[in-house]
Amino acid sequence: MRLAADLRAFAARIGHDFRRPELLARAVTHSSLATPVRPDNQRLEFLGDRVLGLVMAEALLAADKGASEGQLAPRFNALVRKETCAAVARDLGLGEVLKLGRSEMMSGGRRKEALLADAMEAVIAAVYLDAGFEAARAVVLALWGGRVGSVEADARDAKTALQEWAQGRGLPPPAYTEMGREGPDHQPLFTVEVRLSSGEAEVAQAGAKRQAEQAAARALLARMEAGNG
């Protein structure tokens, strides 16, 4: 099999020359375009998630030999979560080479965070099956770049951190309210408010509800910890 020009350019961007190019073709094929002779990337996604996890676990242990499991776990979660995988995919232009069915394409599938994250994991699996773990590790570490070294020492997600802050002061968990949703289905904009029982609140917007909640929690936590609440 010979890759199309767009996939050859993509393979060059990830820095891997595929001996079995059909693996990359499968990694970028969404279930909306799958047929009995054109398998989708779901099984590769499953494998790639595990390969990514092992690479990140090894990298974090090597980067901070004195860190406890309690310190490493949130850093690990920050590096392997869907948002991070999608960000790496966007940096690579992965959305441009996704093979999508018409309905998924019309609904903005090339920009959807979940599709990008899943395909990124599938690409990692394709490299692993093509050339083994060392090759996959090299690709992952190159693509994740400075993210491993710059991941926050305390990388708990903002919602967890805010809830722990509140509970530490005898307050119930923060309440999140979706204040609005604008834009078309393929490019929504969510507005979310987070509020403490003591009255302090922050509002944030993002293209996904979870991201808006995280942004609002991050803003409120920063304000409370600064003593300006």
Is 121 an active-site residue? Answer: yes
Q: Are 194 and 179 in contact (CB under 8 A)?
A: no
And the tokens for 228? Answer: 């300006």
Q: Which of 45, 118, 121, 157 is catalytic?
A: 121
- Report residue 35: phi and psi, to 5°: -140, 170
Neighbours of 19 (CB within 10 A): 8
Q: Which of 40, 49, 113, 202 is catalytic?
A: 49
Q: Which residues are catalytic?
A: 49, 121
